[in-house]
Structure 1
Amino acid sequence: MTLVKFNSAKPTGNALLPGFNDVFESIFNDTFFSDRLVTRVPAVNISESENNYHVELAAPGLKKEDFKLNLERNQLSISVEQSADHEDNQKNYSKREYSYSSFVRSFTLPESADDSRIDASYTDGVLRIDIAKREEAKAVRRQIEIK
């Protein structure tokens, strides 16, 4: 038997069949479906400054030792392989969304990236990777005199 939650405070979309929309909403918002629909990889922000490309990967609850960064043929791969904690196996979660046991994110570096100058740090749940640009790829700025 499955218990279906109804929200009586929310107006129903169908006056003839009250609660009809709530049934479908509860089914598709159930963790059985949503956990399988949501991709289990951390979110990434990629930005660019004058001298560097920046990659920020949000992965709370990990240690810097959990990450492996590999570079092969202009392909930067960020991976985590983590064994399940014995302490976490004893907890009875009602919902668990930020559990990353393993994942791989790969990015192709642009030709303007200097793959010999890549720095990475992990603080406050965010992995930050700075990829230097080649000297010839940096934007040239100069003041142009108007005659």
Structure 2
Amino acid sequence: MDRQSPLDSMEAWFEQMSKQFETAADRWGTGLEPWSEGMSQPRIDMAEDDEQYTVVADMPGFGKDDIEVYVTDNTLAIEAEQRDETVAEEANYIQQERTHQSLSRRITLPSDADTETISASMDDGVLTITVSRVEPLDSGHQIDIE
């Protein structure tokens, strides 16, 4: 009679998990893919220093008039919509894909973000949003136990 090692079944289990993770990664992507026209969320970078937070979002093909930036309940929202209204009536399209494009992204801001002083600028399809930092209203305090 041949005894099976408990490690043999663990190895098979790890191989099965590895295959499942690979399948999931193929379905979901890595999250590092470049922005493409079919995406519904712009890719962002968010950085901080002692004075402010900076959010940089790639918005290719959008002009500043196509984009809305606002804050609600400590959440920064970026929304963009673009319609191609130019249609040549005599054109015989084989394929027409550039008719409507919209993006939306919500970012929860840290508790020390000053939502009253936010600025935004647009340069060559890159949206930069700057949010000042403030001292937290309540830094916490000790509670005595009775």
Fold equivalence (TM over 0.5):
yes
Letter in 1 for 2:59: A
Q: Bigger shift: 59-68 or 128-137?
A: 128-137
| CA positional deviation for 1:43 | 1.0
- Counterpart secondary structure, 1:78: strand
Report if the CA contact (8 A) 1:41-1:100 is conserved. Answer: no
Q: 1:114 to 1:93 in 2, by over 3 A?
A: same
Distance of 1:80 and 1:72 partners within structure 2: 17
TM-score by length of 2: 0.56
Pairwise mapping of residues 41-120 of structure 1 onto structure 2 (< 5 A)? 41-86=41-86, 101-120=101-120
Task: Count the aligned residue pairs.
Answer: 98
Flag structure 1 segments of 5+ consecutive residues without an equivalent: 1-37, 138-147
Residues 8-67 of structure 1 show CA distances to partners (whole Å, capped at 9, x for unaligned) of xxxxxxxxxxxxxxxxxxxxxxxxxxxxxx633221111111211000001122111111
Change (3 A) 1:49 1:92: farther
Distance 1:51 1:84, change over 3 A: same
Unaligned runs of 5+ in 2: 1-37, 138-146
How far off is 1:131 after superposition? Answer: 0.3
**Normalized against structure 1, the TM-score is what?**
0.56
CA distance in 2, matches of 1:101, 1:124: 18
Secondary structure of the 2:60 match is: coil
Separation of aligned partners in 2, 1:44 and 1:93? 31
Hey, what's the Cα distance between the residues in 2 that align with 1:47 and 1:93? 41
Name the % identity.
Answer: 30
The match for 2:125 is 125
TM-superposed CA distance for 1:124, in Å, is 1.4
The one-letter code of the counterpart of 1:107 is I
Return the offset for 1:69. Answer: 1.0
Backbone CA RMSD of aligned residues: 3.0
